[in-house]
Amino acid sequence: MYYYSTRNKNEKACFATAALTGLAPDGGLFVPEEIPQYPAQVRSSLGTMDFCDIAFETIKPYVRDEIPDTVLADIVRSAFTFTAPLIPVANRYTLELFHGPTAAFKDFGARFMARSFSYLRRGEDRPLRILVATSGDTGGAVADGFFEVQGISVTVLYPKGRVTPLQERQISGLGKNISALAVEGSFDDCQRMVKAALADDGLKKKMALSSANSINISRLIPQAVYYSSSAGRAFAGRIDPDGEATPRVKGHSVVSAGKSDLPVTLCVPSGNFGNLTAGLYAMKMGAPVKRFIAATNINKTVPDFLESGEYLARRSQATISNAMDVGAPSNYERMAAHFSWEEMRRIILGVSVSDEETRETIARVHKDSGYFIDPHSAVGWKGVDKLHAENKLEDGAVGILCTAHPAKFSEVVRPITGDPPVPPSLALAMKRTVNSKTIPAEVPALIETLYTYN
């Protein structure tokens, strides 16, 4: 399998190059030359197969020849040590993607990326330093994914004072091969500084550098796995009424959403659209997905595009679902490389949700079903309600991807429902001490700091 740049079909790379460099040399995003198909017997067993077996079958065609089967099997077993339960709540399912170490779906991509980087760089004696700019969630997932991985160190840049206390501990509390820089500026400053450092000739001579942002293809592909596994389970009528550690009120039993033998409609709370793009890959591979819903907050560039056919990137606006505050979603370029506007309109329904609607939804879901939901997942929940009200959803099961644990966004959730139960991974992270270095939002300050590490 080779990958080509969304900006030039002749700019090709193997999986290792695409993963380790992140961005194509022409500034485009790497996409696979074709989306492979599941073998018939895998496709018909998605509802009963073990999650790691589905992960192996899903990822294998994308890395064939570059990661041997035995190594890939080990990588997925060590990356996916937690589950993604599909749970009936009220008249729909929630696909809980927050049972990993940092309590957000980004753990799936980051943990696979870290382990595959480690294998792809075997035999290299130069240590690799990964630079990552974060507005909150990505930094924690990448730090945790690469923690104690041999031969690789990570420097996370975050805007000082603009991440939550929990996120700051997830980013800066691990130590060892993970270092954290609190930048006196915005997320955009962090991103600009990372880009400049990656292009600095003096630095490149001194150390091997890479980045780990969400456009990396090795973070995207593993996200297709939970779509195939959940769609397969919904299709087979297999659900988890007692999924582990679900944040619902004790003693409360959820209403069954019923058996499904129809392809499922999956609603994806979206920002940069990496998650939804992974879903499109799973569907093309043969997962029984009928349709996707792209639910955004008021940063509705993609829903507007689906409506009008005109893509208009804009500045992002701040909301309470801030991991989705993206006005120019980078993965749009990938979606457009695989699908025309007409095709996208057939597969994806767009909807956008305001902060007020999000808060109202967090309250209502908790009151009606005893289920705690985080602001991002609440955007998905409300998106489904709105499409139902407009008669845009046909029969069949509907699942909502719950992208973060509600306790991760307790600043928003607490005043509405009281504190949701805190999962052990977050309780542990809260006990860590913040250990970061503050630097001004200037490129030389970053470069100077990086020199002191080696």
Q: Which residues bind ligand PLP (CB under 6 A)?
A: 104, 106, 137, 214, 269-275, 323-324, 376, 403-404
Cα–Cα nearest to 303, from 266, 265, 270? 270
State in angstroms the smallest separation of the CB of 297 from ligand PLP.
10
Choose between 218 and 260: whose C-beta lies nearer to ligand PLP.
218
What six digits make up the tokens of 279?
A: 């879903």
State in angstroms the smallest separation of the CB of 29 from ligand PLP.
13
State in angstroms the smallest separation of the CB of 325 from ligand PLP.
10
Choose between 32 and 269: whose C-beta lies nearer to ligand PLP.
269
Residue 203, amino acid: L
Choose between 319 and 369: whose C-beta lies nearer to ligand PLP.
319
- Could you give the CA distance from residue 210 to residue 80 in angstroms, rounded to a whole number? 24
Beta bridge partners of 32: 3
What six digits make up the tokens of 34?
A: 């074709």
Element (H, E) at 266: strand 264-269
Q: Buried b vs exposed e over 400-411: b needs ≥16 C-beta within 10 Å?
A: bbbbbbbbbbbe
Residue given tokens 């709540």 in the structure block: 89
Choose between 45 and 354: whose C-beta lies nearer to ligand PLP.
354
State in angstroms the smallest separation of the CB of 330 from ligand PLP.
9
Bridge-based pairing of strands 30-32 and 3-5 is antiparallel
The CA–CA distances, whole Å, from 190 to 185, 339, 448 equal 7, 32, 15
State in angstroms the smallest separation of the CB of 278 from ligand PLP.
8
Choose between 106 and 300: whose C-beta lies nearer to ligand PLP.
106
State in angstroms the smallest separation of the CB of 53 from ligand PLP.
25
- Could you give the CA distance from residue 68 to residue 79 in angstroms, rounded to a whole number? 16
Choose between 47 and 279: whose C-beta lies nearer to ligand PLP.
279
SS3 category, 158: strand
